[in-house]
Amino acid sequence: MDKYLSIITNFGCHGRCPYCVVRETGINVPETTLHGLTNLKNAIKETGVNIVSVSGGGDPLHNFEEHKYWYSELFALLNNIGLPIEMHTSYMNTKFPYEKCKRIVYHLLNLDQLDEVAKLEKEIVRVVYVIEKWMTKDHIGYIYDYVQRSRDIDELSFRQLVNGNFKEEYHLHDHLKRYHGKKWHYIEQCDYNDYYVEGKLYKRFSDIGKE
Ligand code: SF4
């Protein structure tokens, strides 16, 4: 089973997720810099992980062109030690080399975006939906059927929304749980990974940004 080190970036954000709870307050993650990668190799050794994921704090591919050197450095470092990358983003049309990742996880915001998802080469393509109040079992069924027919999408996940009080919601919980592992993955909020943020390691996401 893959053991993840999750790099949490802050390159800013498109601000498009309707359920966002940090848009007003700001992202509580330090700005991501090239210097912040210097401790990554040690952190990989210390945690014994076999895959590195990149997510946010905002969207890791926000203003990609401005951060392409950071990604070149990351790919070079991980190629050197033979570790794959999993990328989490809502951006589908940047110059980022999606096909060089082991897995791309697209965080989709509406049903129409399913049409935009494209597999470029052999990367595994997963789509994730945060469960919002407007969603019904029929919407879930539509998404499931779409993914079943798709040649571009390999995997489907749903995850619960975290509200303004940083508490998980339970909309459609029983239905989603019933088919977890059979039709889709249902992700309940918890800390699965070790987190790497600007040179520091954290065990809990909520500790990021606290000193
Ligand atoms: S990517 Fe994150 S910070 Fe940006 S709008 Fe979506 S939830 Fe909010």
Position 209: which residue type? G
Backbone angles phi, psi at 15, to 5 degrees: 65, 25
pTM flag (> 0.75)? yes
Assigned superfamily of 4-207: Aldolase class I (3.20.20.70)
The pLDDT of residue 6: 96
Instruction: Answer yes or no: are the C-beta atoms of 90 and 14 closer than 8 Å.
Output: yes
Q: In whole angstroms, what is the distance from residue 197 CA to residue 6 CA? A: 9
Cα 160 to Cα 40: distance, rounded to the nearest angstrom: 30
Distance 80 CA to ligand 1 centre (A): 32
Within 6 A (CB) of ligand 1 lie 13, 15-17, 20, 22-23, 27, 56, 58-59
pLDDT 10s digits, 172-200: 999 999 999 999 999 876 667 899 999 99
Best of 16, 89, 109 for a ligand 1 pocket test (most atoms within 8 Å of beta carbon)? 16
Q: Where are the domains of the chain?
A: 4-207
DSSP state of 148: H
The H or E element that residue 44 is part of is helix 40-47
pLDDT (tens digit per residue) in 44-95: 999 999 999 999 889 999 999 999 999 999 999 999 999 999 999 999 999 9
